[in-house]
């Protein structure tokens, strides 16, 4: 039988290890049965035998030998005189097996079959890839940096599959070199122009959860549960953990002796500060722990509106808010409560201070809101901070800060 050079197509199947042999045989059989239907009108009396090792196939046509002039279906029956031309020993009533020469289909049909087969292989590879990574969403993977672009990084896994890490999924301090091996988690599988795109991440909370599971055996064993993780990648993370064994301190187990367990994770996350706190269903205690390292004086909680007013001493306000407001933002995400920070008034201070809202006619409301966001809810609390400190902690311009301080000072001078 003439070869149609299917070796390359079969080799692609063999290289795609996740495509099983029965699937491969079925696809090849389907492709050539389609050819048979186009040429003969039916494929019922044809057997397609695939030899995957050699990269070829054979097609046999089965027909019953009948008396001359009694052929009703040329695909299923053959006249006796025609049969003995093939093999003189044949008799009426026997079944004739005849090999079909592939070249009988014509050059165009053979080329179309090869293209269809290649297309089916490609689709199967895509489906296998989508299923594989859809089942691994949230899992840690190691991959090699293949190409670094401005907006994304192309990675290759151990099997040569492409993974994509957009800029938004990279820690701001990440710097990748071609050829280096990095760790990340599978975030999702997208389809772009019918092609699977595997998106991986290093900013996802699941990335930190996986790193903790590797470093802390008690988490992997199920003795400690991670209740919630919130992150500002590269800046700070808060992890609420709970122990199912009273003898195990979940925070101590996660941090390790002298920070031995957490240090490796901090390095992986480019010096991201990680606050590990003991989870509790007592919301007041959870809010207090979530605002670590600040120490709270007292708080008022509105459970219906999920809102909490937290009061701290002057030197604790900046700790509670954190750099660029990160600490309080993460505390809100961790607890699910809207937390407002206020400076605790000191004895005899109330009569000499003025609420920042009183300056609404001289200072724009958005500026007042920005000051309150960083805990400056009174005139003195604003003046207590230097211009440099206000500029660092707020989104206000230097000139704006100077004007605000001037207005507030003038008000006290009048008093």
- 190 versus 65: the higher-pLDDT residue is 190
Do residues 251 and 277 touch, judged by C-beta distance below 8 A? yes
Question: Which tokens belong to 344?
Answer: 């605790």
Query: Per residue in 22-34, pLDDT tens?
Result: 777 777 778 778 8
Cis before 293? omega within 30 = yes
Q: Is it the case that residue 167 has pLDDT exceeding 90?
A: yes
Give the per-residue pLDDT at 268: 92
Question: Which tokens belong to 376?
Answer: 């400056």
Q: Is it the case that residue 1 has pLDDT exceeding 50?
A: no
- 257 versus 15: the higher-pLDDT residue is 257
Give the per-residue pLDDT at 46: 80
Q: Closest Cα partner for 342 from 396, 399, 381?
A: 381
Q: Is it the case that residue 100 has pLDDT exceeding 80?
A: no
Phi, psi of 249 (to 5 degrees): -85, 110
- 78 versus 263: the higher-pLDDT residue is 263
CATH, domain range 7-131: 3.30.1480
- What is the Cα Rg of the chain in Å? 36
Question: Which tokens belong to 160?
Answer: 């040569």
Q: Is it the case that residue 5 has pLDDT exceeding 80?
A: no
Max CA-CA distance within the chain?
126
Give the per-residue pLDDT at 2: 39
What is the Cα–Cα distance from 22 to 19, expressed in whole angstroms?
9
Do residues 356 and 372 touch, judged by C-beta distance below 8 A? yes
Give the per-residue pLDDT at 54: 60
Q: Closest Cα partner for 156 from 105, 200, 111?
A: 200
Q: Closest Cα partner for 324 from 389, 271, 266?
A: 389
Among the residue ranges 120-124, 237-241, 284-288, 318-322, the one predicted with the least confidence is 120-124
Residues of the chain by 3-state class (helix, strand, coil), percent to 5:
45, 25, 30
Which band of pLDDT confidence, cut at 50, 70 and 90, is reported for residue 55?
A: low
pTM: predicted TM-score of the whole model, two decimal places: 0.66
Strand-pairing partners, residue 159, are none
Which band of pLDDT confidence, cut at 50, 70 and 90, is reported for residue 414?
A: low
Among the residue ranges 92-101, 238-247, 348-357, the one predicted with the least confidence is 348-357
Query: Per residue in 216-236, pLDDT tens?
Result: 999 999 999 999 999 999 999
Phi, psi of 380 (to 5 degrees): -65, -35
Contacts of 206 (CB under 8 A, 6+ apart): 138, 185, 187
- Ranges of H-type helices in 6-106: 7-15, 21-40, 80-86
> 10 Å Cβ neighbour count for 108?
8
Domain map (residue ranges) of the chain: 7-131, 140-203, 350-414
Contacts of 92 (CB under 8 A, 6+ apart): 65, 66, 67, 80
What is the Cα–Cα distance from 415 to 410, expressed in whole angstroms?
9
Which band of pLDDT confidence, cut at 50, 70 and 90, is reported for residue 110?
A: confident
> 10 Å Cβ neighbour count for 370?
17
Q: Is it the case that residue 115 has pLDDT exceeding 70?
A: yes
Give the per-residue pLDDT at 3: 43
Average pLDDT over residues 317-342: 90
Contacts of 363 (CB under 8 A, 6+ apart): 356, 404, 407
State the DSSP H helix or E strand holding residue 74, giving kind and residue range, or none if neither.
Answer: none
Give the per-residue pLDDT at 147: 94
Q: Closest Cα partner for 270 from 154, 175, 152?
A: 175
Q: Is it the case that residue 170 has pLDDT exceeding 80?
A: yes
Q: What is the mean pLDDT of the chain?
A: 84
Query: Per residue in 364-387, pLDDT tens?
Result: 888 888 888 888 888 888 888 888
- 47 versus 351: the higher-pLDDT residue is 47
Q: Is 75 helix (H, G, I), strand (E, B) or coil?
A: coil
Matching CATH number, 140-203, of 1.10.287.890, 2.40.50.140, 2.60.40.10, 3.40.50.300: 2.40.50.140
């Amino acid at each position: 039988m003439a070869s149609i050079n299917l070796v390359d197509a079969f080799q692609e199947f063999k290289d795609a290890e996740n495509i099983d042999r029965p699937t491969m045989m079925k696809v090849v059989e389907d492709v050539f049965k389609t050819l048979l239907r186009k040429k003969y009108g039916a494929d019922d009396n044809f057997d397609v035998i695939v030899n995957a090792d050699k990269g070829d196939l054979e097609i046999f046509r089965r027909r019953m030998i009948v008396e001359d002039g009694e052929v009703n279906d040329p695909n299923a029956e053959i006249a006796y005189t025609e049969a003995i031309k093939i093999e003189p020993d044949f008799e009426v009533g026997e079944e004739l097996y005849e090999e079909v020469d592939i070249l009988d289909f014509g050059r165009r049909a053979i080329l179309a079959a090869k293209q269809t087969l290649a297309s089916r292989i490609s689709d199967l590879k895509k489906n296998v890839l989508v299923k594989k990574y859809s089942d691994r969403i949230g899992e840690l993977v190691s991959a090699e940096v293949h190409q670094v672009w401005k907006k994304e990084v192309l990675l290759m896994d151990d099997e040569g599959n492409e993974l994509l890490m957009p800029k938004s999924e990279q820690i701001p301090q990440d710097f990748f070199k071609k050829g280096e091996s990095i760790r990340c988690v599978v975030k999702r599988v997208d389809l772009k122009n019918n092609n699977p795109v595997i998106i991986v991440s290093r900013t996802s909370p699941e990335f930190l959860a996986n790193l903790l599971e590797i470093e802390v055996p008690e988490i992997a064993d199920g003795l400690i549960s991670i209740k919630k993780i919130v992150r500002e990648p590269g800046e700070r993370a808060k992890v609420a953990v709970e122990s199912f064994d009273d003898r195990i301190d979940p925070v101590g187990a996660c941090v390790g002796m002298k920070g031995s367990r957490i240090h490796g994770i901090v390095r992986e996350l480019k010096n991201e500060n990680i606050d590990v706190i003991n989870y509790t269903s007592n919301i007041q205690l959870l809010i207090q722990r979530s605002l670590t390292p600040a120490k709270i004086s007292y708080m008022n909680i509105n459970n219906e509106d999920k809102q909490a007013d937290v009061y701290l001493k002057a030197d604790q306000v900046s700790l509670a808010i954190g750099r660029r407001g990160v600490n309080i933002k993460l505390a809100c995400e961790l607890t699910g409560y809207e937390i407002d920070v206020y400076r605790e008034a000191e004895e005899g201070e109330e009569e000499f201070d003025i609420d920042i809202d009183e300056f609404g006619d001289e200072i724009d409301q958005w500026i007042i809101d920005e000051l309150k966001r960083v805990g400056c809810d009174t005139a003195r609390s604003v003046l207590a901070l230097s211009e440099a400190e206000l500029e660092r902690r707020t989104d206000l311009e230097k000139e704006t800060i100077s004007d605000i301080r001037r207005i507030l000072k003038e008000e006290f001078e009048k008093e």
